[in-house]
Chains A and B, each alone.
Chain A
Amino acid sequence: MSAEGPGIPECDLQTQERAEDALIMHLERDQFVAETSRPVPRAPLSARVSTGLWALRVFVVLVSLMVIYTFVAQLR
């Protein structure tokens, strides 16, 4: 880092560090990459919600296949 270069006075280095600290203070703690990289805990899905999601998923896949089939058939 250039900040460690021999030509930079100690007081300038301290000023620079203070400016960086002041800048970082504008972030909330849970905005730091170190915090957001930590995964949130898994939420337990009830059997009813899980079944509903799977039903919707299967339904959506089936309809998508129908749309894709129609698209391919129209190409012919």
Chain B
Amino acid sequence: MSTPEVAASTLLRQPQPTEEDTARSHDRSRVHHARRQRRRWHLMWLLVGPGILAMLGENDGPSMIAYASDGAQYGLGFFVPFIPILFAMAYVCQEMCMRVGAVTHRGYGELVLQRYGRVWGWFGAGDLTLTNLVTLIAEFVAIRVGLAYFHLGSVVAVVLGLALVVFTLSGGRYWRWERIVLGLAAFNGLFLLAAILVKPHVGSIAGSFDFTPFPGGGFNTLLLLLASTIGATVTPWMIFFQQSASADKGMTPADVAHGRYDTALGAVLAAIFGIGALVAGAALLPHHGSAIQGFAGAGFPQALKHVAGGAAGTVFALGLIEAGAVAILTISASTAYAAGECIGASHSFNSSPRGAAVFYAANIGVALLAAVVILIPGAPLLSIALNANVLATVLLPVSLVLMVMLANDKGLMGPWANKRSTNVIGIAVIAFVALCGAAYGIDSFLQTIQVIG
């Protein structure tokens, strides 16, 4: 059933609509009108959202600092072609999430819990909560790093982050939340502007597409680079978020094609802006940029100011604030979706706070918890932030395997189930992610206990 006419014939059998149904049907009516009037661009505008937000949300504070740090330490070679490959991998995973959400109208957490049992559902929610909490702390740190450039401290970062979460939740509509966050996410393009401001040599960017020079350093350093860069592009929260947001938006199988455009556009933009951060960081390579590592990247905007001028430093600092803010909103939302789905409570931006208390409480609560951690004096924030992406990479394979299982489930997906080619690529992605995460984890552990040098 895909048209209002067909729906009308079954009106008498329709269930009693809730406030959530009414809000969602408002959005769907606009989609139907745009489709009926063949207004392609308007239809595209109405249906984009979850894919772009998942991809640009993952271009978060730690990820952009990781890209800039890669550029400052190793230059452009290897990473310029590697980042688009990783986002192509992310597209494969996220397209499955969007498709399952649009076809089943249910989130990842609830489907895993109901289809494969409570154990797997709660394991997934546990992984998500752990990685989300760690990542949210890193997002507040990123905002703090950006604000430090303007001589503002932790308290401002906390107030700004929490105020944004509360403000975006205040409308009681998915559409409103999505459009505000999309508007903020557009400022991820500041990293591209920062790259332009450092006046890079275009030939060197083009030349780095042959994967050279390969980053030097030890085997463990290379594994850390791989694990943290993968963790900067594909993470458990993206899986939960895009599937749940696609369902919350009211997407249907008729919208899958547009969902693919949305996801692909998000992947392309995220790859371009990620490379922007890399190029901006690479401007520091001839100026001992390797000294500015990881979240000591507090010095990145300042260093860029000295090397490429005040405008580059300011734009990079503003970009970090944006990256952290958007990620706080999307990651908190994914936690809230998972909490509502696993507990079996209402979980939609289209519900009021009274109707979906767990959803709203989890959304604000997880952000509040992360905010409290960054206010603790002496907390190892830099180490937590550095390890956020690695932990996400290590925990990702289980979520991905269950995602592929859902996307292959003919009982749920019918004709929309995965094709063989999608499965081959999906399994290759899972194997690559699992191998990189495990290799780094095991190698680091053996070095730590001094079994290997």
- A-side residues, CB < 8 A to B, are 20-36, 39-43, 45, 49, 53, 56-57, 59-60, 63-64, 66-71, 73-75
Contacts and interface: CB of A to CB of B under 8 A. Distances in A.
Contacts of A41: 114-115, 411
Given A23-B26, A31-B252, A60-B398, 6 more contacts: A24-B14, A24-B17, A26-B28, A27-B7, A32-B21, A67-B390
16 contacts: A21-B11, A23-B25, A26-B31, A26-B32, A29-B13, A33-B346, A43-B115, A43-B409, A49-B405, A53-B401, A53-B402, A60-B397, A66-B441, A70-B447, A71-B387, A75-B380
B391 A67 contact: yes
A24 B395 CA distance: 41
Interface stretch (B116-124, B152-160, B277-285, B307-315): B116-124
Interface in B1-58: 1-2, 4, 7-8, 10-11, 13-18, 20-22, 24-26, 28-29, 31-32
Contacts of B28: 26-27
Of A26, A32, A34, A69, which is in contact with the most chain B CB atoms at under 10 Å from its CB? A26
Contacts of A73: 448
B374 to A, nearest CB: 16
B15 A25 contact: no
Interface of B: 1-2, 4, 7-8, 10-11, 13-18, 20-22, 24-26, 28-29, 31-32, 104-106, 110-111, 114-117, 120, 123, 247, 250, 252, 346, 380, 383, 387, 390-391, 394-395, 397-398, 401-402, 405, 409, 411-412, 434, 437-438, 440-442, 444-445, 447-448
A24 B25 contact: yes
B17 to A, nearest CB: 5
Given A30-B105, A35-B15, A40 B412 contact: yes
A28 B105 CA distance: 10
Nearest to B7: A25
Contacts of A29: 1, 7, 10, 13-15
B116 A43 contact: yes
B398 A64 contact: no
Given A35-B15, A40-B412, A28 B398 contact: no
Contacts of A60: 394-395, 397-398
B106 A40 contact: yes
Contacts of A20: 17, 22
A69 B445 contact: yes
